[in-house]
């Protein structure tokens, strides 16, 4: 994927299916707890994972997003959630110890989800992702389409950039005018972009077919990932944590 | 040896909803070991034919297919599927960006093998061998996006070769490539012809394919001529009539009234000498002194060309320009130059050498990271984008990046309206722009129904409507056949002669030689050569070291000790000595 960071860390070396299932288990785990303290522990845990996978570079890129998410969820949940005994209120807004706890728990949970997702994309190549999905049992065409989508996004953005520049060079000014005028200004961008999208997909489909895509029957894989002890260990650990988390009385 | 590997009999194809067939009465046999080149104008059916050969037509692109296509090694069936034929006929497309999709070179090459269910242990060997053949060994882990254009196209070829097809069909593989990339592909084709059972190549530049076994000349869906290069290419008028740039050797021979079947530069020069033609006295001096568009050597006393002196107003002044995309190494690295009003400048160099990045400063699409760019006396950071964009018309490489309107007229009016001219003024400017580009009277046509060449002219018209004094064109001839190229080049020349300054990015060295006044060569973000076009071509070693090659006509001139820009110039410098 675009955000992939080459490395030889333990997380990078995991079997792709372990990465996918592991991510899912991590996300489920974050939902198991209501306490901000437990959420903070999980967040610290995934940050450690991020550190070990060398994913901090990517986290730094989404830092503004992470801060916004944290502030927004703490503030809004604390003010709007009506639980417990409010010790302050003003119109629609109320504040209680419980609602503040809940706000922080939600904030940390969303952060933990964001970081887990980021760790995943930092240590998984598009082809590994597709391979992992197939290994779990998804049909080839589906996994290929998914991985292709990831691949085509940056190409598509390059095309959009070119079209925008070409129209700017002809004096298109997207910044002025009211909403309706501005909406109309997107027509000169959308038409060439669609023409390109259609043409590119058409060409790519032909190139794929010309290399035997769509052939029925058995297919082999160039990549091979052994499923080894570390995969069992990681998945085992995550399953145990989940069982423990979900069976525990809600903290 | 004699058994045909592909047999097409009376093949015809009509695209769905098309009024007339794209292919008609195609009879062709491709024998083992042959290297065939297909030439012809845009719309002659070359791509359609290529797509029939591996079954994309009719299984992917629908329409009515008649006649028969037999592929050796494939059991006959009425409608073979693409994946069945793909093992025998491999197809490489022109657009290398759109045909690559993997994250590294190795996986890209392995894709076909995975589909053909080749065992894993044999796959690695075949991937290695395919990459080795195209000269990409050692690139296995590279991201295809990080490769140069030529490398990308060679990777596309490797990804097809890995599946061990008997025949490789390449549909204009060199069109989007710089001179080095082109040369690498032709070299590869030469190697491959001895290794696989057949190559079919669609190509515009006939000079590079003289060693082919056979040329197919296509016109309006039919193969109008078929034969060895010496037979098909020896008639320059016929070749040109079919939208292909004739070999310059044959053009010169024909101007001198000689037999035109000496195709290579050496053969042609030998024939001219043996017919008694010699270089006139002080021919080179009169070439140097000649104005560009007048016949040079006659009359000999032509007044010398005025050098670009300081009296001409400088419209572009660039000083120590550095430009970086983010934290990458500079794309333009310390460029200083001046362009005077009315100049015709060609900007050349390899893909990724910084030409387009440099040019985008002229209309303010880029702002300098360091240094200064002044246009019409004012720094581009002081111009507003619309004010500058009106004065510097920028024509992007591909007209389809900007065409959106329902009518030709609205498309041309777009820019002028954006710049806030009154509707009356817009009308006048549009009329003038359409007249200048030869599109008058076609106001109400749908731009998408125009030919690719006409769309390129439309893109120029839409820029002209704001009446810019400076025109920047990014590879305006790419993807056009010879007629289309000449039409757009003559248009640009007329615009230049009417006083506009032209900066043209191009990969075609013959375009530089025949149309530009001044040639700026870039390499690695720097200007490595800047001067009069003739001076530029007087140093073949320098060009060679920059992976550029003088065009055919110029090299033909070298044979006579001349630095000529066209065969017409050579012809003017020769005289027949009676023995």
Cβ(A87)–Cβ(A96) below 8 Å: yes
The rounded distance, in Å, linking the Cα atoms of A4 and A154 is 13
**Residues 410-429, chain B, touching A (beta carbon < 8 A):** 414-415, 418-419
Tell me what ipTM this predicted complex has: 0.85
Instruction: Name the percent of chain A lying above pLDDT 90.
Output: 56
Which residues lie below 8 Å from residue B429, measured CB to CB, with a gap of 6+?
A: B416, B421, B465, B466, B467
> Residue A152: pLDDT above 50?
yes
Cα A109 to Cα A44, A63, A71, A104, A114, distances in angstroms = 11, 16, 13, 8, 9
**Residues 98-157, chain A, touching B (beta carbon < 8 A):** 125-127, 148, 151-152, 154-155
Task: State chain B's mean pLDDT as an integer.
Answer: 89
Instruction: Please calculate the CA angle B447-A190-A205 and round it to the nearest 5 degrees.
Output: 85
Segment B177-204 mean pLDDT: 89
What is the domain-level CATH number for residue B516?
3.40.50.300
Segment A1-6 mean pLDDT: 79
Residue B331: inside a domain: yes
Q: Name every chain B residue with its beta carbon within 8 A of the beta carbon of A200.
A: 98
A175 and B CB contact within 8 Å: no
- pLDDT tens for B90-128 read 999 988 888 888 888 999 999 999 999 999 999 999 999
Interface contact flag, B103 A222, Cβ < 8 Å: no
Q: B385-397 as b/e, with b when 16 or more CB fall inside 10 Å?
A: bbebbbbbbbbbb
Partner-chain residue, chosen from A148, A200, A218, that has the shortest CB–CB distance to B117? A218
The rounded distance, in Å, linking the Cα atoms of A248 and B5 is 72
Residue B233: inside a domain: no
Which residues lie below 8 Å from residue B46, measured CB to CB, with a gap of 6+?
A: B38, B39, B40, B171, B172, B202, B218
A219 and B CB contact within 8 Å: yes
Q: Name every chain B residue with its beta carbon within 8 A of the beta carbon of A205.
A: 60
The rounded distance, in Å, linking the Cα atoms of A22 and A234 is 8
Predicted structure pTM score: 0.86
| Residues comprising chain B, all counted | 579
Tokens matching residue A121: 């994309």
Cβ(A100)–Cβ(A78) below 8 Å: yes
Cβ(A105)–Cβ(A35) below 8 Å: yes
For residue A217, how many other CB atoms are within 10 A of its CB? 6
The rounded distance, in Å, linking the Cα atoms of B257 and A248 is 99
> Residue B300: pLDDT above 50?
no
> Residue A1: pLDDT above 60?
no
- pLDDT tens for A104-118 read 999 999 999 999 999
> Residue B153: pLDDT above 90?
yes
Interface contact flag, B98 A200, Cβ < 8 Å: yes
The rounded distance, in Å, linking the Cα atoms of A178 and B193 is 62
Q: How does DSSP assign B499-563, residue by residue?
A: T-EEEEE-S-HHHHHHH-SEEEEEETTEEEEEEEHHHHHT-HHHHHHTT----HHHHHHHTTT--
The rounded distance, in Å, linking the Cα atoms of B411 and A190 is 14
**Residues 147-176, chain B, touching A (beta carbon < 8 A):** 156, 159-160, 163
DSSP 8-state symbol, B144: G
> Residue B521: pLDDT above 50?
yes
Cβ(B553)–Cβ(B513) below 8 Å: yes
Interface contact flag, B404 A191, Cβ < 8 Å: yes
Q: Name every chain A residue with its beta carbon within 8 A of the beta carbon of B56.
A: 206, 209-210
> Residue B443: pLDDT above 80?
yes
Among B117-121, B146-150, B156-160, B454-458, name the one with the lowest average pLDDT.
B146-150
Residue B338: inside a domain: yes
Tokens matching residue B238: 């016929």
The rounded distance, in Å, linking the Cα atoms of B190 and B185 is 9
> Residue B244: pLDDT above 90?
yes
DSSP 8-state symbol, B247: P
Segment B323-329 mean pLDDT: 87
- pLDDT tens for B15-36 read 998 899 999 999 999 998 899 9
Handedness of CA A79, A83, A84, A86 (dihedral sign): positive
Residue B360: inside a domain: yes
Instruction: Name the percent of chain B lying above pLDDT 90.
Output: 67
The rounded distance, in Å, linking the Cα atoms of B356 and A167 is 16
State how many domains chain B has: 1
Q: Which structural domain range is residue B509 located in?
A: 314-552
pLDDT at B298: 39
Partner-chain residue, chosen from A172, A217, A224, that has the shortest CB–CB distance to B117? A217
Segment B219-244 mean pLDDT: 94
Question: Closest by alpha carbon to B247, among B288, B205, B294?
Answer: B205
Cβ(B539)–Cβ(B261) below 8 Å: no
Residue B119: inside a domain: no
- pLDDT tens for B205-223 read 888 889 899 999 999 999 9
**Structure confidence at residue B304 as a pLDDT band (50, 70, 90):** very low
Q: Name every chain B residue with its beta carbon within 8 A of the beta carbon of A207.
A: 93, 98-99, 156
pLDDT at A22: 96
pLDDT at B302: 36
Question: Closest by alpha carbon to A58, among A110, A122, A124, A116?
Answer: A122
Cα Dmax for chain A:
69
Interface contact flag, A209 B82, Cβ < 8 Å: yes
Which residues lie below 8 Å from residue A103, measured CB to CB, with a gap of 6+?
A: A73, A74, A75, A76, A77, A78, A81
> Residue B303: pLDDT above 60?
no
Segment B365-394 mean pLDDT: 92
Residue B8: inside a domain: no
Cβ(B521)–Cβ(B489) below 8 Å: no
pLDDT at A69: 94
- pLDDT tens for B499-519 read 999 999 999 999 999 999 999
Question: At what angle are helices A126-136 and A140-168 packed, to 10 degrees?
Answer: 150
**Structure confidence at residue B295 as a pLDDT band (50, 70, 90):** very low
The rounded distance, in Å, linking the Cα atoms of B8 and A133 is 43
pLDDT at B306: 43
Question: Closest by alpha carbon to B365, among A166, A68, A134?
Answer: A166
- pLDDT tens for A59-72 read 999 999 999 999 99
B478 and A CB contact within 8 Å: no
Partner-chain residue, chosen from A163, A171, A199, that has the shortest CB–CB distance to B389? A171
B507 and A CB contact within 8 Å: no
Residue B226: inside a domain: no
- pLDDT tens for A178-192 read 888 888 888 899 999
pLDDT at B178: 84
Q: How does DSSP assign B324-391, residue by residue?
A: -STTSSPSEEEEEEEEETT-EEEEE-STTSSHHHHHHHHTTSS--SEEEEEETTEETTTS-HHHHHHH
Respond yes or no on whether the N-terminal peptide bond of residue B453 is cis (omega within 30° of 0): no
The rounded distance, in Å, linking the Cα atoms of A35 and A104 is 9
Residue B476: inside a domain: yes
Cβ(B133)–Cβ(B191) below 8 Å: yes
The rounded distance, in Å, linking the Cα atoms of B175 and B475 is 11
Segment A30-52 mean pLDDT: 93
Cα B515 to Cα B309, B356, B494, distances in angstroms = 21, 20, 11
Segment B188-193 mean pLDDT: 90
Q: Which of A191, A211, A218, A226 to mutate to test the interface with B (most CBs of B within 10 A)?
A: A211
Cβ(A137)–Cβ(A20) below 8 Å: no
| Closest chain A CA to residue B92 | A207
Tokens matching residue B123: 């796959």
pLDDT at B90: 94
Q: Name every chain A residue with its beta carbon within 8 A of the beta carbon of B99.
A: 203-204, 207
> Residue B299: pLDDT above 70?
no
Strand partners, B278: B575
pLDDT at A111: 95
Sheet architecture: strand order including B501-505: B392-395, B470-474, B501-505, B344-348, B518-523, B526-532
Residue B41's SS3 state is coil
Cβ(A185)–Cβ(A90) below 8 Å: no
Residue B578's SS3 state is coil
């Amino acid at each position: 994927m675009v955000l992939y960071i080459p490395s030889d860390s333990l997380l990078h070396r995991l079997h792709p299916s372990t990465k996918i299932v592991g991510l899912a288990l991590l996300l489920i785990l974050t939902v198991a707890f209501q306490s901000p303290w437990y959420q903070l522990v999980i967040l610290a845990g995934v940050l450690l994972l991020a550190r070990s996978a060398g994913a901090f570079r990517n986290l730094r890129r989404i830092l503004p997003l992470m801060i916004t998410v944290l502030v927004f969820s703490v503030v809004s949940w604390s003010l709007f959630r009506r639980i417990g005994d409010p010790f302050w209120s003003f119109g629609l807004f109320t504040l209680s110890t419980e609602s503040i706890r809940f706000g922080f728990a939600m904030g940390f949970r969303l952060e933990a989800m964001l970081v887990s997702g980021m760790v995943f994309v930092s240590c998984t190549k598009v082809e590994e992702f597709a391979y992992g999905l197939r290994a779990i049992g998804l049909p080839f065409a589906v996994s290929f389409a998914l991985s292709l989508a990831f691949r085509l996004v940056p190409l598509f953005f390059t095309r959009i950039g070119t079209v925008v520049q070409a129209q700017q060079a002809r004096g298109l000014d997207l910044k002025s005018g009211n909403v309706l005028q501005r909406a109309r200004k997107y027509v000169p961008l959308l038409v060439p972009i669609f023409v390109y999208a259609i043409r590119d997909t058409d060409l790519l489909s032909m190139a794929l077919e010309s290399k035997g895509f769509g052939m029925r029957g058995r297919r082999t894989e160039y990549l091979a990932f052994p499923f080894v002890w570390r995969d069992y260990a990681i998945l085992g650990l995550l399953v145990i944590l989940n069982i423990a988390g979900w069976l525990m009385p809600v903290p | 040896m004699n058994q045909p590997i592909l047999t097409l009999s009376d093949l015809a194809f009509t695209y769905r909803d098309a009024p007339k067939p794209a292919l008609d009465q195609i009879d062709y046999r491709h024998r083992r070991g042959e290297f065939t080149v297909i030439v012809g104008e845009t719309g002659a059916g070359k791509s359609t034919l290529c797509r029939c050969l591996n079954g994309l037509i009719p299984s992917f692109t629908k329409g009515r297919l008649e006649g028969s296509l037999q592929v050796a090694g494939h059991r006959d069936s009425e409608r073979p599927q693409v994946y069945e034929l793909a093992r025998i006929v491999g197809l490489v497309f022109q657009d290398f960006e759109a045909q690559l999709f993997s994250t590294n070179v190795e996986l890209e090459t392995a894709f076909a093998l995975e589909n053909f269910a080749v065992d894993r242990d044999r796959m690695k060997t075949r991937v290695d061998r395919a990459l080795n053949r195209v000269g990409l060994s050692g690139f296995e882990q590279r991201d295809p996006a990080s490769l140069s254009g030529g490398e990308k196209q060679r990777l596309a070829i490797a990804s097809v070769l890995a599946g061990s097809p008997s025949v490789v069909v390449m549909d204009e593989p060199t069109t989007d490539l710089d001179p080095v990339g082109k040369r690498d592909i032709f070299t590869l084709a030469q190697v491959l012809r001895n290794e696989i059972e057949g190559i079919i190549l669609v190509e515009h530049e006939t000079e590079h394919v003289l060693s082919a076994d056979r040329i197919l000349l296509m016109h309006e869906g039919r193969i109008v001529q078929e034969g060895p290069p010496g037979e098909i290419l020896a008639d320059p008028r016929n070749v040109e009539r079919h939208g292909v740039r004739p070999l310059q050797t044959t053009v010169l021979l024909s101007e001198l009234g000689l037999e035109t079947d000496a195709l290579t530069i050496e053969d042609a020069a030998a024939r001219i000498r043996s017919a008694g033609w010699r270089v006139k006295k002080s021919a080179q001096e009169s070439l140097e002194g000649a104005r560009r568009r007048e016949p040079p050597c006659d009359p000999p006393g032509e007044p010398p060309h005025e050098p670009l002196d300081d009296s001409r107003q400088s419209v572009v002044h660039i000083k120590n320009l550095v430009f970086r995309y983010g934290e990458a190494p500079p794309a333009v690295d310390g460029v200083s130059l001046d362009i005077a009003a009315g100049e015709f400048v060609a900007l050349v160099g390899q893909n990724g050498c910084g030409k387009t990045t440099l040019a985008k400063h002229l209309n303010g699409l880029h702002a300098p990271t360091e240094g200064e760019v002044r246009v019409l006396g004012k720094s581009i950071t002081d111009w507003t984008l619309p004010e500058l964009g009106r004065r510097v018309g920028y024509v992007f490489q591909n007209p389809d990046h900007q065409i959106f309107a329902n009518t030709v007229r609205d498309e041309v009016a777009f820019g002028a309206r954006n710049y806030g001219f009154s509707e009356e003024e817009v009308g006048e400017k549009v009329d003038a722009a359409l007249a200048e580009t030869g599109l008058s009277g076609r106001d109400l046509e749908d731009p998408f129904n125009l030919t690719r060449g006409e769309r390129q002219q439309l893109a120029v018209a839409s820029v002209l409507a704001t009446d810019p004094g400076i025109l920047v064109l990014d590879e305006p001839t790419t993807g056009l056949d010879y007629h289309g190229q000449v039409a757009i080049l003559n248009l640009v020349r007329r615009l230049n002669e009417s006083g506009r300054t032209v900066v043209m990015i191009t990969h075609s060295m013959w375009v530089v030689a025949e149309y530009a006044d001044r040639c700026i060569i870039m390499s690695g973000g720097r200007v490595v050569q800047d001067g009069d076009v003739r001076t530029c071509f007087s140093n073949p070693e320098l060009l060679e070291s920059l992976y550029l090659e003088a065009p055919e006509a110029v090299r033909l001139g070298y044979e006579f000790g001349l630095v000529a820009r066209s065969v017409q110039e050579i012809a003017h410098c020769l005289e027949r000595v009676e023995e």
